[in-house]
Structure 1
Amino acid sequence: MMAPKLERFVSPGKGNGLRTTARIKRGELLFSEEPLACCVSSKVSRAVCHRCFTRPSAGLPCTRPSLHTTSDSETEGEGGQEKKGVVWEKHETLLRCSQCKMARYCGINCQKQAWPDHKRECKCLQSLLPRIPTDSVRLAARLIFSLLSPSKGSSEELYTLEEHESHLSSMSEQKKQGLLQLASMLELYLQQEAPNLAQEIPSLPPSCRDPLSLIAKVTCNCFTISDGELQEIGVGLYPSLSLLNHDCRPNCVMVFEGAKLQLRAIRDINPEEELSISYIETLSLTEDRQRQLEDQYHFTCHCQRCDSKDKEELMLIGEEATWQKLKEALPRLEGLKAESDWKTLLDSCSHLLSTVCGDVPDENLYKLRMTDMALDASIHLGHWEEALTYGERTLSVYRQYYPDPHPVHGVQLMRVGKLQHYLEHIEDALDTFKQAYQIMKITHGEDHPLTTDLLMKMEECHCEMGQRSSSSH
């Protein structure tokens, strides 16, 4: 769904862009679209439904101890997490495709609905077992399969696949070599179903018939699909939204509901003003943001935030010799997080954080990243009091770094609120949930499942406070 208030235009110095033809209020939904093609990321393929992109189990407490107790035997199996006889979020194991052994579904309905798209992919996956192609190869193949499927009606797009940039001419030789390997894998992967792209898919644009060009377009123009906690769960192609240019302090944000993408304004936008999003996580130094944008998207950012180096001094506040130790430790800690070695991660983070103490304030970028990792590890280990301590330390810092309503800030408040609620700090939880709601009603909209979940949490707090006051009289 494309709002009639949007139009394509040529953005000075940036090429194609998207702008508004009318005044937009912050919080307004500008665009909502299902992907042209999408796939679940390999690293979470066992935990996410390949049809509806929902994750059956979450890491945060969702219920109160008094609401539901259980015996130990009930909590066994994937997705069940038991603490003192309390069910956290218990779900059945995802159904696995018996043929390719990779695709998983949350129920029989999703499995049936997925089959028309999955049947070609299934044969290709089987042909390469036990190898699993990379996400970009699987996404490029899914794009081919969607074009092979006559049932797919072509929706009106502001930007066509043919117009998408491949950036091959501006790429380093090393990166091109990497893409050539992916293109070879794509050809091998498609042998079962589409051995000759040009002959089999006349609707495929000429510039996409070459596997290298196709894989380059896919890697440069795909979007990361994230879940309610803003963790990566997949990749998708949303052609019209490839028109949006980057800004390190954008006027719009994208959030997902399953694989469906929604674009919302986070500031009031004037007629003929360009719409912008951030292609990357903006909580990093200007030099690092610019390097990532050049490496990944092949342009140099000259936005106001980059030119002014906004908040740079705050990010590097504290004793440099001390915070350098935190910075140097981060790659190793990120490796532990990727391996889900939560115990070692938490021990390392808490040790490092205790050694820097007052020499490095909480606002320091590297200390904040480490505190966030300690929060994640504490949640995964079920150390709720410790998690809350780390979470509460981040909130005033997030407020400074995200002056505009931002999903990252809203989700962080919601996580901390859930911890406060579970640990029966009801008044604090209600206050935190209210702050989260003020952000998420703009970034996610009133009808998003995360926003409605937040309203339910606030209602629970009100009820519990009412019960407490009536029992004290």
Structure 2
Amino acid sequence: MTGSIKGLERFDSPTKGRSLRVTRAFKVGELIFSSQAYSYVLSLNERGCYCEFCFTRKEGLAKCGKCKKAFYCNVKCQKGDWAMHKLECSAMMAFRENWCPSETTRLVARILAKKKTQKERCVSEKIMLIGEMQSHVEDVDNEKREMNEADIAGLYRFYSKHLDLPDHKDLLTLLSQVSCNGFTIEDDELSHIGTAIYPDVALINHSCLPSVIVTYDGMSAEVRAVKDMKPGDEVLISYIDLLYPTDDRNNRLRESYYFTCDCQECKSKSKDKAKLKVRKRSDPIETDVINNMVRYARKAIREFRALKHTKNILLIIITWSLFELLEMCEHSLEEMGAVFDDSNIYMLHMMYQAMGVCGCMEDLDGAVRYGEKIVKPYSQLYPPNSLNVSSIYLKLGRIYMLLDKPSMGLNAFKKAMAIMEVAHGKDHLYLKELRKEMAQK
């Protein structure tokens, strides 16, 4: 029997299928609902920084006494996580440096373990069961099929001792469901912390003009309105980064979620001209030159995304030194800058990458230089209350403070806070930490 969430109802949309809408009015920043994770996993890169069980970020976490790899706030958290951690604990000791399942494999193993012990509907399945989530298993291309097969091989290699694995077909379906419905848990600067499954939140459809935003309190998902909503309005989130023009967004949606968006923004393409702005020149730039540069830019972005998908940032640094990465950014910016305006989204993408690399190199002046070029166009091109904008203000604020520019730092923090109070709620831990940060200056 389907459960319910106060103020919401599930319905069947004639164009989108299963959907969610509000049954009462909600104001901007108001919490529509929150959901505990059905299952979740902390990223290996964040071990030692966050508690594996509650995702609390703090220093002085205690190690698991057996594997010495997992970290917890206290004994209570360690005991709470044991049902899931035991899937990995002995395997990590046995395989040592050869223990290397993907994050998806780790999450799927935990889902299977939970399903085995689950006797009734989970609190994260009030309006949709995990088994109801869309899989699109029949739409998976060869590349994704190979990735799924590699994840299945990882399940057998690293988890078969503690799990009775279902048949191959069911595993492929579950992996496809996780791929289409998994949520990336992020921190205040949008850095990846872990991955989770929230069946009720997965019911929400996509729009490039979203009505809500999903943020995280520990491992719980919180859905808040980013525009005023009236009874009957559909609850809509964005599945993708909304900076990019219509064709790019829909290519991403087709690749990852197997549909094309038909929201008002995709129909009107009202922001595409601003997003694809070219340099003003006395001799107008020919269309062919612009199209060729767009192709060049998309290729450069694909190369960076491929690097980002490398399992460990250390491997990136070994393969590509930070200087080489920065040179790659600067070369792309020089090439594109002959045609594109600085506010063009492909220029902004490369500047964002360059800002990150400068940060890793502790080149604070370089990071600020790129950040200052990014922040105004971001504010104009992203929808209101976008975390992509608040995260840039946060990063800039923290760099200004390190450069001993407190007034500029506090100004950036205030702009970040205005967005975060809507997206996270005024009492969120990130806001409390930011207020402390500001009070110290």
TM-score range, shorter chain: 0.7 to 0.9
User: How many angstroms apart in 1 are the aligned matches of 2:202 and 2:272?
Assistant: 29
Q: CA deviation at 1:108?
A: 5.8
1:382-393 to 2 correspondences below 5 Å = 382-393=362-373
Change (3 A) 1:345 1:107: farther
Deviates more, 1:213-222 or 1:14-23: 213-222
Match of 1:466 in 2: none
In structure 2, the gaps of 5 or more residues are: 280-289
Letter in 1 for 2:363: H
In structure 1, the gaps of 5 or more residues are: 57-90, 199-207, 462-473
User: How many angstroms apart in 2 are the aligned matches of 1:252 and 1:350?
Assistant: 36
**What per-residue deviation string (whole Å, max 9, x for no partner) do you get for residues 122-175 of structure 1?**
345556651422222211110122234469983251001222222223334554
Contact 2:226 2:422 in 1 (8 A): yes
Match of 1:394 in 2: 374
Match of 2:419 in 1: 439
Match of 2:287 in 1: none
Match of 1:294 in 2: 254
Q: 2:31 aligns with which of 29, 32, 37?
A: 29
Match of 1:16 in 2: 18
Question: Is 2:405 aligned against 1:425?
Answer: yes
| SS of residue in 1 equivalent to 2:416 | helix
1:203-282 to 2 correspondences below 5 Å = 210-282=170-242
Contact 2:277 2:341 in 1 (8 A): yes
Letter in 2 for 1:179: N
User: How many angstroms apart in 1 are the aligned matches of 2:258 and 2:302?
Assistant: 24
Change (3 A) 1:331 1:444: same
User: How many angstroms apart in 2 are the aligned matches of 1:28 and 1:17?
Assistant: 20
Match of 1:132 in 2: 100
Contact 2:99 2:158 in 1 (8 A): no
Question: Is 2:276 aligned against 1:316?
Answer: yes
User: How many angstroms apart in 1 are the aligned matches of 2:106 and 2:241?
Assistant: 24
1:42-57 to 2 correspondences below 5 Å = 42=44, 44-45=46-47, 48-54=50-56
Contact 1:124 1:191 in 2 (8 A): no
Contact 1:187 1:211 in 2 (8 A): no
Q: 1:114 aligns with which of 57, 81, 102?
A: 81
Q: CA deviation at 1:401?
A: 1.1
Q: CA deviation at 1:412?
A: 1.1
State the TM-score, normalizing by the size of structure 1: 0.78
Question: Is 2:179 aligned against 1:179?
Answer: no
Match of 1:470 in 2: none
**What per-residue deviation string (whole Å, max 9, x for no partner) do you get for residues 243-269 of structure 1?**
100011211011112212111100001
**What per-residue deviation string (whole Å, max 9, x for no partner) do you get for residues 296-350 of structure 1?**
2222221122222232222222253667655544445556665144333234434
Match of 1:192 in 2: 161
Change (3 A) 1:249 1:150: closer
Change (3 A) 1:330 1:241: closer
Question: Is 2:348 aligned against 1:368?
Answer: yes
| SS of residue in 2 equivalent to 1:435 | helix
| SS of residue in 2 equivalent to 1:451 | helix
Q: CA deviation at 1:22?
A: 0.5
Match of 2:130 in 1: 161
Contact 2:337 2:347 in 1 (8 A): no
Deviates more, 1:423-432 or 1:438-447: 423-432
Contact 1:323 1:360 in 2 (8 A): no
Change (3 A) 1:128 1:152: farther
Contact 2:91 2:99 in 1 (8 A): no
Q: CA deviation at 1:449?
A: 1.7
Q: Size of the alignment, in residue pairs?
A: 417
Change (3 A) 1:222 1:323: closer
Change (3 A) 1:310 1:181: same
**What per-residue deviation string (whole Å, max 9, x for no partner) do you get for residues 437-457 of structure 1?**
221111111011222233334
| SS of residue in 2 equivalent to 1:250 | coil
Contact 1:54 1:227 in 2 (8 A): no
| SS of residue in 2 equivalent to 1:53 | coil
Match of 1:451 in 2: 431
User: How many angstroms apart in 2 are the aligned matches of 1:24 and 1:368?
Assistant: 34
Computing the radius of gyration from Cα coordinates, the structure with the larger value is: 1
What is the RMSD of the two structures over their aligned residues, measured on CA atoms?
3.2
Q: CA deviation at 1:41?
A: 2.9
Contact 2:189 2:394 in 1 (8 A): no
Change (3 A) 1:353 1:411: same
User: How many angstroms apart in 2 are the aligned matches of 1:391 and 1:227?
Assistant: 19
Contact 2:275 2:381 in 1 (8 A): no
User: How many angstroms apart in 1 are the aligned matches of 2:336 and 2:172?
Assistant: 48
Contact 1:6 1:18 in 2 (8 A): yes
Letter in 2 for 1:35: A
| SS of residue in 1 equivalent to 2:26 | coil
Contact 1:127 1:192 in 2 (8 A): no
Q: 1:306 aligns with which of 266, 270, 283?
A: 266
Q: 2:40 aligns with which of 34, 38, 41?
A: 38
Match of 2:282 in 1: none
| SS of residue in 2 equivalent to 1:439 | helix
Q: CA deviation at 1:372?
A: 1.0
Match of 1:85 in 2: none
| SS of residue in 1 equivalent to 2:40 | strand
Deviates more, 1:333-342 or 1:117-126: 333-342
User: How many angstroms apart in 2 are the aligned matches of 1:348 and 1:185?
Assistant: 34
Letter in 2 for 1:236: A
State the TM-score, normalizing by the size of structure 2: 0.83
